A and B are shown apart, each in its own frame.
Chain A
Amino acid sequence: MKRKLSDSGLENDHPAGSTPKRARTTQPQPNGALNGHAPNQSPPNGNVTYELPPSQSTPKKSNGISTPSLKESGLKTPTHKSKARNLFATPTKPKTPAAGTPSRLKKADQSAKKKSARVLFEQDEDAEWDGSEQLAAEILQDDEPEPEKTTGSIVESVEEGDAEKGKAKDAKAPKRRAGRPKGAKNKRSPTPEGELPAHERYFFQNRAGTGKTSNTTLNKVPLLTHEEYFEKLGQYVDPCKEEKEYLLSLHHRSFSQWQFEFEEGYNICLFGYGSKRKLVQNFADWLYHHSSTENPPIVIVNGYTPGISIRSIFAMIATALLGDDLPSKLGAQPTEVLELLQSALNNRPIEDGPITVLINSVDAPPLRRAANQALLARLAATPRIRLLVTADTPNFTVMWDISLRDQFNLVFHDGTTFTPFAVEADVVEEVNSLLGRKGQRAGGKDGVGFVLKSLPENARNLYRLLLTEVITIMDDGHQSDDEGGADGNKSAEEHGIEFRLLYQKATEEFIASSEMMFRTLLKEFHDHQMITSRMDPSGMEILGIPLSRDEMEGVLEDLVLG
């Protein structure tokens, strides 16, 4: 009973760092109900009775303490908690994991994940598994002759990104190289040495207590714009250029095989890493020149094109097939076009040969939907249609169930090319969205300012209103949010104003007199990607601005002054 109680006490004794949500989830359920204590009233010596199994540090706690200061001095630094433990330790504590809190332990036993984690721990020297100690040992071994430098380098590895990144590279580099013999290794690696089976690795990397990532952010690193990305990419010389070309030429050797497969009624799917667009293009060339008929119809589809529709694909195939005989009205439904296509193929003289359709990135988002794939499967099942598709993602086969697979009648070939996905993906956009910095592509502050200049007075006023409101909300948010996302970089999009509220304010300020007009203005902003809209959990529409706070202030300033 006492132990259970202490458990809950500990949970609430958290440093402020961990989010409240987390703490709630980790609280053992029976506590509150059993002992009737409000959790936060638990006695301060709650910590004392609580003892963790030495190897099984609980995630949230260590998370809280793992501030950079800890890292610098190594794990030995006695924190508030461990001090307490040492002082009040009862004889039963410092034992094997078996001595842990019963309820907790039982839970741990129940969890397969933890069980397997413990197996890992028991197998090896307990503490070595902990990333940091292993790291320390490694550094001690590696850099025996120059110990001072080592400590320095660790600090640096944490700090350098913040402070020094982006300038004076040359001056700094030698020092760093000495300190960091292996570029990647000095990052505190959460991966244990040696080969782990895949599932053990999963549990290891997901084990409790590994949230220890550093708090550095990309704030000081200027991100790339589209222009710079392409400019810099142009300067890069690929060291594997020859090998990639050789790889491509190996694929070219299969062309005749592919043609034979086509001939025998199979459709082809190419998969593997790298853009296969060029390969497909070359195959089209090859087919064209090796065909027994003049001008064999070949239709190429770029599945990654946003907004591409199945109907347009079918319509293009029909155009290739019928040429001038194409009926002026094709029908709005893809099925109608497909049926037209099928009947046209039936009437096609046999010596005219089949029609070849080559689809790049069949698993790209625009074509990925099940309905689209079903239609493509029907196209593939049509006699005298030869279909070659390429797939880029690793799990594309889950798009097709057994009956689709049956209709597609595919043979698969590894078409790894290592060619970058230059066209398929909008790299900068993708990365920005991955980093939660969507708006930067619209040209950031300057872009927004430019657009605003071209808009009428009303629109400018509305945007000013929106900016003011959002900034106010952000400020409020910071005050109430004690967990200080101190950099103010907490994705600006998360703050926003409710649609209705904004409309109200806009009418009050005589910016928009009707909802219709209000929407027209918003649409203009949306077209230029100057606002974002999302649904909050209660179903309200929240409008936000895809800019960082500094930029917002800058724009607002310009608006007010201008």
Chain B
Amino acid sequence: MDSDGLGDVLDLSKDRSQNQEQRTDMKNKGVYIYQPAKSGKPSGERPSKRRKVSSTNITKEASETEGFVPLLNGDENPECVQLRYNTYKQLWAEQEDRIQVILEDVDAGVLKDVSSFVRETSPETSNGCIPTALVTVGSNVSSLSRLLSRLNDQLKSTNEGGVVVLESGDAPNLKTSLKNIIRAAVTNTEGTDGYQRFLTDRTGPRILGYDLDLLHDYVQRRGTKKLVLALRDSEAFDPGLLTDLFSLFKSWLDRIPFTVLLGISTSVEIFEGRLPRACVAMLQGQHFEVQEAGNCVDRIYEALQTSSDGKMWVGRNITSTLFEKASDYFQTPEAFSRMVKYACMSHFFANPLAVLLGNPDPSILNQNRFCEAIRNLPSFRMFCEDLLEVGSANEARSMIEDDDYLLRAAFDHVNAGQEIMRRIFSAVLLIHTCLQHTQASKKTPVSDISVRALSGELSESPLVEDMLTTLKTLDSEKLGDVLITLPTLAEGSPLTDIQADLKTLLETNSDSLPLRSEYNVNSSVVKTTVVQQRVLLTKGKANLREQDIEYTRIIDRLVSALQVHFAETLIRPQELFMHEAFLFDLRNPLKETFTPRPRFAIERALTSPFDYLMSTITPDAKISAKQPAAAILYQLYLESGALVNVHDLWQAFYGVYQRDENNKCDDRVVMALFYGALSDLKMFGMVKNSRKKTDHLAKSSWMGM
């Protein structure tokens, strides 16, 4: 007699008891299609409508702008809303293209390798084993799906075959995996209907869905040359199942041209170690490595921020948040760009000034309100104070009083500010290029330089000082390299002159190259003198050749030109008037939206519920009956030890109500509340039944840990 049998019998899913409370069907239905309430306005309508009191054609507009609502207390003109939306769409479409280019570029290398591997290998070239591509993806998990879909497109377009992606979830056992593989292979080219037809329109005996004969038939009909089976998360597959699959494939290899592609997130050695030898022996493979995500993320950031026609930038706080997240967690490049996109969305969604980026016609602005908004900006105040300091009180006055004047100034400053931002980032790029030459080992990424630039610290930072010092010591050959790669500075910069001078100097002294400046190590001599048994080291300049002195002069000019340039361009963007319009730097919506702290939120709701429930009642005690029951119980729970006596807990809970309500409370009602609160705590995994003592609970979570 087996007890398992009974287990089966007894282990039926326990039906929930029918609750006595009257409930509508909807609550108990697992899944249903929404049907609007028959009569009346939905309750959700009212609050949102309250906000847009003034605008008349709400519904029409909402559909056009997809969720953009009029700002400025609802007084924003519909045209402005529309313009904000359009500007956002246009701006992000450009950025999105840039990102796509980078992603494709990053993948291009490994895609080329993999596709040529797929094309060139065959069972013959791999000693009768299944040709296998082992792709290690590391943290860049999403790259593999991109790679696979592009490989699939390539193979499909040339009619060579296709890629079948199998995930560990699709492969619970051999039959199902085979069935899934076959279906995916056929659907890939024929579509779902094609698969059904393929199954039914057959002569001869009906073949079951997992029979590889089906696939064989399909391969023959289509003339498929390559059928790539990609396991995205190879580590998650059952090794036994893999062995079975591969041995099947191997025996069909003469009829079906399989190539296996394994996505590995650990390392090839670890993966191989998990497989049985017999399984490994059936594969012959090559190892491919996908570029790490970090590098990719940096390039995306660079492309987004430093483009020469940028209109809007993300500020320092966001940059550091973004890169904190990218380095602290594994993050795919897509996830990174989504975060940037969200920052951009937030800017256009919630900032009425963002409309200025769309070069609006001043007439569509609701001038009154808009100017009021501008006058409330911190940067406006700063600007006016500066005006007063330099003595132009009249200008300040008209800024404050004259709407037209203010608007014109605002437009001008937005344009000027954007120009300054572009210059800042071109300086960042310049520094980045120089660093490529001066930094020997560790290269500072663009993001680091940008963070410093965005906080206005770059021109005085040790990074730049070090760079300039190293630049001085370069000999003429290396300097030549640097100058060639440097992006041209702004018009009329002395850089071109310097370049020309250097060229003539080199030409005249072509026999004594390389030239060294006086700052070079080789140009200084260390003198050692012994004075009273102590060694004194004195550095002195070696006698410089004339051309070296000339070269030193050129170097000095270059360095001072760079210094001047940096000092001019690298200003604090936060000091620009109207920077709020084109610089988005609020850390919060982004951080909270992408790295939520749900546990903290729940703990906060329970420990200080009035943070959420803006109550008019000021509670006198820390715990009061005015709070929700779960909050009361949770606070009592926090005070208790690792083991909680339920009866005492109930007494304490009841005591809270009794004290506050002057004994007018019904203890059974309180008991019902106690039940609800206790069940909440259980649901949150904070308590569990303890076996140590009767009617005791074990505490299983500690706040703040």
Contacts and interface: CB of A to CB of B under 8 A. Distances in A.
Interface residues on B, range: 35 or more
B390 interface: no
A226 B697 contact: no
A190 B683 CA distance: 24
B177 to A, nearest CB: 11
Contact of B642 (A205, A339, A375): A205
B690 to A, nearest CB: 9
Interface in B660-702: 663, 666-669, 671-673, 675-676, 678-680, 682-685, 687-689, 692-697, 699, 701-702
Interface in B1-47: 1, 3, 5-7, 9-10, 12-17, 19-21, 23, 26-34, 36-37, 42-47
B606 interface: yes
Interface residues of A, number: 159
Interface stretch (A105-113, A260-268, A461-469): A260-268
Interface string A176-206: 0100101110010111000001110110011
Identify which of B28, B192, B623 gathers the most chain A CB atoms within 10 Å of its CB: B192
Contact of A282 (B14, B23, B42): B42
A340 B654 CA distance: 55
Contact of A302 (B27, B598, B603): B27
B341 to A, nearest CB: 7
Contacts of B648: 161, 187, 213-214, 216
Interface string B238-273: 000000000000000000000000000000000000
Given A232-B668, A313-B31, A374 B605 contact: no
A157 interface: yes
Interface in B173-225: 176, 180, 183, 187, 191-192
B613 A414 contact: no
A333 B69 contact: no
B30 A305 contact: yes
Nearest to B596: A412
A197 B42 CA distance: 47
Interface in A259-279: 259-264, 266, 269, 271-274, 277
Interface string A215-250: 111100100101111101101100110011011010
B694 A184 contact: no
A153 to B, nearest CB: 12
A257 B36 contact: no
Given A177-B659, A214-B648, A519-B6, A394 B626 contact: no
Nearest to B693: A213
B644 interface: yes
Given A259-B67, A298-B33, A273 B6 contact: no
Contacts of B650: 161, 218, 221
Contacts of A423: 23, 27-28
Given A161-B651, A184-B655, A343-B192, A169 B667 contact: yes
B113 to A, nearest CB: 23
Given A184-B623, A431-B678, A213 B643 contact: yes
Interface stretch (B58-66, B353-361, B379-387, B490-498): B58-66
A249 B47 contact: yes
B294 interface: no
Given A253-B47, A394-B603, A526 B10 contact: yes
A43 interface: no
Contacts of A235: 666, 669
Contacts of A197: 704
A487 interface: yes
Contacts of A274: 605
Contacts of A166: 667
Nearest to B649: A187
Contacts of B20: 226-227, 230
Contacts of B596: 269, 271, 397, 412, 414
Interface stretch (B326-334, B503-511, B554-562, B569-577): B326-334
A104 interface: no
Nearest to A302: B30
A326 B67 CA distance: 32
Nearest to A500: B1
A441 B593 CA distance: 42
B675 A217 contact: no
A123 interface: no
A184 B601 CA distance: 25
Identify which of A214, A226, A430 gathers the most chain B CB atoms within 10 Å of its CB: A430
A358 B44 CA distance: 16
Contact of B656 (A184, A206, A333, A406): A184
Given A205-B702, A249-B47, A217 B592 contact: no
A510 interface: no
Interface string B165-178: 00101100000100
A88 interface: no
Interface in A351-398: 358, 371, 374-375, 391-397
Interface in A83-131: none
Contact of B599 (A199, A336, A395, A503): A395
Interface in B608-634: 609, 612-615, 617, 621, 623, 625-628, 630
Given A264-B341, A540-B3, A288 B34 contact: yes
A224 B44 contact: no
Contacts of B405: none
Interface in A269-317: 269, 271-274, 277, 282-286, 288-292, 297-302, 305-308, 312-313, 316
A345 to B, nearest CB: 12
A421 B672 contact: no
A256 B628 contact: no
A402 B33 contact: no
Contact of B679 (A170, A283, A425): A425
A428 interface: yes
A217 B695 CA distance: 6
B601 A202 contact: no
A406 B233 CA distance: 14
Nearest to A268: B593
A306 B16 contact: yes
A339 B645 CA distance: 52
Contacts of B654: 183
Interface stretch (A68-76, A432-440, A554-562): A432-440
B647 A218 contact: yes
A218 B651 CA distance: 10
A244 to B, nearest CB: 6
Contact of A395 (B6, B331, B645, B685): B685
B157 interface: no
A173 B15 contact: no
Identify which of A198, A205, A336 gathers the most chain B CB atoms within 10 Å of its CB: A205
A252 interface: yes
Contacts of A187: 639-640, 648, 651-652
A332 to B, nearest CB: 10
B68 interface: yes
5 contacts: A177-B658, A285-B42, A288-B34, A395-B685, A411-B593
Given A266-B338, A277-B27, A499-B1, 16 more contacts: A166-B667, A169-B667, A183-B654, A210-B642, A226-B20, A233-B673, A249-B46, A256-B68, A299-B33, A302-B29, A306-B16, A343-B192, A403-B233, A430-B683, A431-B675, A436-B695
Q: When A and B form their complex, which 10 residue pairs have the shortest distance between CB atoms, in order from nearest?
A: A183-B655, A260-B67, A198-B704, A285-B42, A282-B44, A190-B641, A412-B596, A243-B613, A292-B63, A298-B34
Interface of B: 1, 3, 5-7, 9-10, 12-17, 19-21, 23, 26-34, 36-37, 42-48, 51, 59, 62-63, 66-69, 139, 141-142, 167, 169-170, 176, 180, 183, 187, 191-192, 233, 329-332, 334-335, 338, 341-342, 345, 349, 592-594, 596, 598-599, 601-603, 605-606, 609, 612-615, 617, 621, 623, 625-628, 630, 635-636, 638-648, 650-652, 654-656, 658-659, 663, 666-669, 671-673, 675-676, 678-680, 682-685, 687-689, 692-697, 699, 701-705
